[in-house]
Structure 1
Amino acid sequence: MIEYNVKQGDTLRKIAVRFQVTTVQLCYRNNMSPEACLEPGTTLFVPDAVPTDQPRGETHSGCLHEYGWRELEEDRQSLPSSIFSEQIGISVLGKPIWLFRAGNGPKKIFFSGAWHGNEWLNTWLLMSFLHVFISKEESKERWYGVDPGAILQEVTLYAVPLVNPDGVELVQEGAHVLGKEKKNDVMQINGGMHDFRHWSANARGVDLNHQWPAGWKEEAAGSPDRPFPRHYGGEAPLTEPEAKAVYQLSMQEEFSHILALHSQGEEVYWGYSGLEPPESAELGNRLAAAGSFRPVADAGSSAGYKDWFIKTFRRPGFTIETGMGVNPLPPEASARIWITGVPLLLESLTFPDFTKKSRDITSAE
């Protein structure tokens, strides 16, 4: 048994994986709850410890522990040279918001994930997808019948896997990651509770998927009217730096279609107020069939990123709800998310180029 001093970013799961013990053993030896957030500097007793240099987690083993902005930064440093990364903004607390880009094709497709703090497994899914997709392309292998090399000649794939780094950090590590003044604000928003597993919002208590000028007023009327762990859309649309970063990217690039990943229910939402193109229903059904999900025309809500994209560009937009259970889904859910999510993501890369369709219509007029 050894004594281990907790460092910034540590969780019980990360420490257990590093020393090849279980969280149950750690909790029992230290008289702790499995949901405890660890304060840096705390001493833990680790039984029968066998320390290893544990990587972020092999894809074939699933996600081994919490995946946040630190793990993403490690992955970013190890990406092959054919995947380009660019900082497109910063979060409320100053963390970088990273965009990744692969391919050189004229059709631009955009994936995004972790809009909500307790949906961080989709960040792992998207980063792992990029790694494997490029490795398949380099080895000239097909993947679920798709040829990555051919796809990357037709497609430029954009991805922001971690839209809400501050919210994810709060869920995984608790409010001690904040300075005193900000910690007091966040604790007040959270009703004085130290448990942040239910937290969806950013560090200001604004839900980034309720920030969009597409029925924002109507959605705000039925949502909290103050900073809250979930569903509060802010004082106005696009007030938050994380939402602004995605907005500016979307306005700058002509995306043919977009996928916004969330994690609750294994559903595909493909419509918004009848403004989506007529092909969206068929494409939504294709995505749902690929992942064995349920297609749904409309979520019955507004002010989401997918809603705004459809309203603004009249091109297909999809909200993808990966996973089943209660957020935050545990790392053990990553196997199911991977098995169902990969075929769905690959299927989306084969869709028609809707920017070309728009250009053709304009030329005809």
Structure 2
Amino acid sequence: MEVKVRKGDSLWYYSQLFAIPINILLEANRDVNPTALQIGQRIKIPGYVSENYVVRAGDTFYSIANRRNVPLDGILILNQDVSPNMLQIGQRIIVPIKVISRVVTSDRAYDSAILDRDLDRLETIYPFIDRKVIGRSVEGKPIEEIIVGTGERLIQINASFHANEWITTPVLMRFLNDYLLALTNQSAIRGIDVKPLFTKNKVSFIPMVNPDGVDLVIKGPPQNKKEEILAINNGSNDFTGWKANIRGVDLNNQYPAKWEIERDRKPFKEPAPRDYPGPSPLSEPEAKVMADLANEKPFQRMLALHTQGKEFYWGYEGLEPEESQELAKDFERVSGYRSVQYVDSYAGYKDWFIQEFQQAGFTMELGRGINPLPLSQFEQIYEEMLGVFLVTLYK
């Protein structure tokens, strides 16, 4: 929601009027000089949307504000050209609405179009997030990063490296939505005050690393590549077993962390629905985007969301830092997932991240069953993972 500055208004006043923490308000208006507001200047108010309202008999600004549980001056500031003493039945005014419930989708197969729509919603309601395209897939679809927070500690959380593990994207998006809701409503999540987490951390959310693959599993092949993809899939129109990107390369086997071992022992030596590590490390644009991101930003923690198994992996060649073990103990406690330090698998993003930066990296295997996991498991998976997200930001 946007408001127009009146004489005497300040960001501090808006913070008090709309009950939005001042640091959140400042972050939503990064291009504004808070000490030099100009009359008529537009200011973004996070956590609110504006709504048209048709005046009824007996309405006053005061009664509307009281009935809608919004501040009276919040209505006045949105209707500066309306005389509050001369309201007419049928007249249209604007009222502020505090957003107190989720807007992201969790009730259907989650493809890249749904992600884009949900990110548009979040960006509109919560303009203090920083949304940017960090690269593009084989098919040119955006790979997006959403940054939340102003702290010095950088944390990365990514999802949908694997196409048929797309349920990890709405899990990540649910947490992002809940975090933003708690920040703007000054509420807690599981008893944890999230306001200090905003100033302690800068969290990088990458909700869909493999948009082409996700869309293939959910919607089928694009017409321009149908024959090629069907050939990779042994002629089958069933893509539920497809983990790879659109070129048949497994993105989580693409990293130069003993990549040659995976190349030599994988059964597939050419494009396949899963487990083909590609012709060389980082041959795929999606894998390179994620490597470039980590090389550009000094992340101190990283969670890669996968399915399935209700376990997580956190070691690589003894290069993991001491804090990884402490975090693993907490993750195991809050999620009920099994902690596994080492696993006979290489060339994954977590492996490379630990190898290159000696920082805490985790591969989280959400839920249990056959991929793609059914949406009937979503609520349970989210509750299992919520504690992991909170520990990652809090500890």
Indicate the TM-score class for this superposition, using the shorter chain for normalisation. 0.7 to 0.9
Give the CA deviation at 1:246.
0.8
178 and 89 in structure 1: CA distance in 2 versus 1, 3 angstrom threshold: farther
- The CA deviation at 1:62 is 7.9
Counterpart for residue 137 of structure 2: 91
Write out aligned runs for 1:318-329 (5 A): 318-329=362-373
Q: Gaps spanning 5+ residues in structure 2: where?
A: 1-100
Give the one of 300, 303, 307 matched to 2:347. 303
CA distance in 1, matches of 2:175, 2:313: 21
Equivalent position to 1:173, from 205, 209, 219: 219
Structure 2 counterpart of 1:16: none
1:160 pairs with 2:227: no
Rounded Cα–Cα distance in structure 2 between residues aligned with 1:178 and 1:348: 42
Which letter maps to 1:314?
Q
Relative to structure 1, the CA distance from residue 61 to residue 101 in structure 2 (aligned partners, 3 Å threshold; closer, same or farther) is closer
Alignment partner of 1:189 is 2:232: yes
Q: What is residue 166 of structure 2 aligned with on the other side?
A: 120
Q: State the shift of 1:145 in Å.
A: 2.7
Q: Secondary structure of the equivalent of 1:135?
A: helix
Paired residue type of 1:209: N
- Report the equivalent of 2:178: 132
Q: Give the Cα–Cα distance (whole angstroms) in 1 for the partners of residues 320 and 153 of structure 2.
A: 19
Q: 1:61 to 1:211 in 2, by over 3 A?
A: closer
Task: Give the stretch that moved more between structures: 265-274 or 204-213.
Answer: 265-274
CA distance in 2: counterparts of 1:278 and 1:111, whole angstroms? 20
Matched, 1:200 2:243: yes
Unpaired segments ≥5 residues, structure 1: 1-57, 352-365
Is the contact made by 1:63 and 1:332 (CA closer than 8 Å) also made in structure 2? no
Cα distance in 2 between the residues matched to 1:339 and 1:173: 28
Judge conservation of contact 1:107–1:155 (CA < 8 Å) in 2.
yes
**Residue deviations 1:170-225 (CA, integer Å, cap 9, x gap):** 111112x231xx21111111000000001000000000000000010011111111
Check conservation: 2:367, 2:381, Cα contact below 8 A.
Answer: yes
Distance 2:339 2:116 in 1: 34
Larger relative contact order (Cα-Cα within 8 Å, sequence gap ≥ 6): 1
| SS of residue matched to 1:159 | strand
Q: Deviations over 1:135-157 (max 9, x none)?
A: 10111111113221110100000
Compute the displacement of 1:328 (Å).
Answer: 0.3
- Quick one: distance in 2 between partners of 1:228 and 1:72? 26
Counterpart of 1:65 in structure 2 is 108
1:219 aligned partner: 262
Q: Which amino acid aligns with 2:205?
A: A
Amino acid at match of 1:129: F
CA distance in 2, matches of 1:256, 1:277: 10
TM-score (norm. length: structure 1): 0.78
Q: 1:60 to 1:324 in 2, by over 3 A?
A: farther
Offset of residue 331 of structure 1? 1.2
Whole-angstrom CA distance in 1 between matches of 2:253 and 2:377 = 26
2:250–2:278 CA contact under 8 A, matched in 1? yes
* SS of structure 1 residue aligned to 2:384: helix
* CA contact 2:160–2:166 (8 Å) conserved in 1: yes
Question: Relative to structure 1, is the Cα distance of residues 77 and 60 closer, same or farther in structure 2, using a 3 angstrom cutoff?
Answer: closer
Q: Output the CA distance in 2 between the equivalents of 1:60 and 1:289.
A: 30
1:254 lines up with 2:295 in the alignment: no
**How many positions carry a matched residue from both structures?**
291
- Give me the CA root mean square deviation: 1.5
Q: Deviations 1:3-39 (Å, cap 9, x if unpaired)?
A: xxxxxxxxxxxxxxxxxxxxxxxxxxxxxxxxxxxxx
SS in 2 for 1:325: coil
| Counterpart Cα distance in 2 of 1:227 and 1:69 | 23
CA distance in 2, matches of 1:278, 1:291: 21
Q: Quick one: structure 1 residues 60 and 169, their matched pair in 2 at CA, closer, same or farther if it must change by over 3 Å?
A: closer
Distance 1:238 1:61, change over 3 A: closer
Task: Find out whether 1:279 has 2:323 as its counterpart.
Answer: yes
Contact 1:212 1:237 (8 Å CA) reproduced: yes
Matches within 5 A, 1:11-90: 63-79=106-122, 80-90=126-136
Please tell me whether the aligned partners of residues 282 and 288 of structure 2 are also in contact (alpha carbons under 8 angstroms).
yes
Output the amino acid matched with 1:265.
G
Contact 2:105–2:118 (CA<8 Å) still a contact in 1?
A: no
Structure 1 range deviating more: 138-147 or 306-315: 138-147
- The offset of 1:279, in angstroms, is 2.5
Question: Displaced runs of 4+ in structure 1, greater than 2 A?
Answer: 58-63
Cα 1:61–1:243 change in 2 (3 A) is: closer
- Distance across 2 between alignment mates of 1:349 and 1:105: 11
Paired with 1:242 and 1:295, the residues of 2 have a C-alpha distance of 28
Residue 339 in structure 1 maps to residue 354 in structure 2: no
Verify the 8 A CA contact 1:62 1:332 in the aligned structure 2. Answer: no
Distance change in 2, residues 1:93/1:248 (3 Å):
same
Bigger drift between 340-349 and 104-113 goes to 340-349
CA offsets per residue over residues 21-61 of structure 1, 9 Å max, x none? xxxxxxxxxxxxxxxxxxxxxxxxxxxxxxxxxxxxx8699
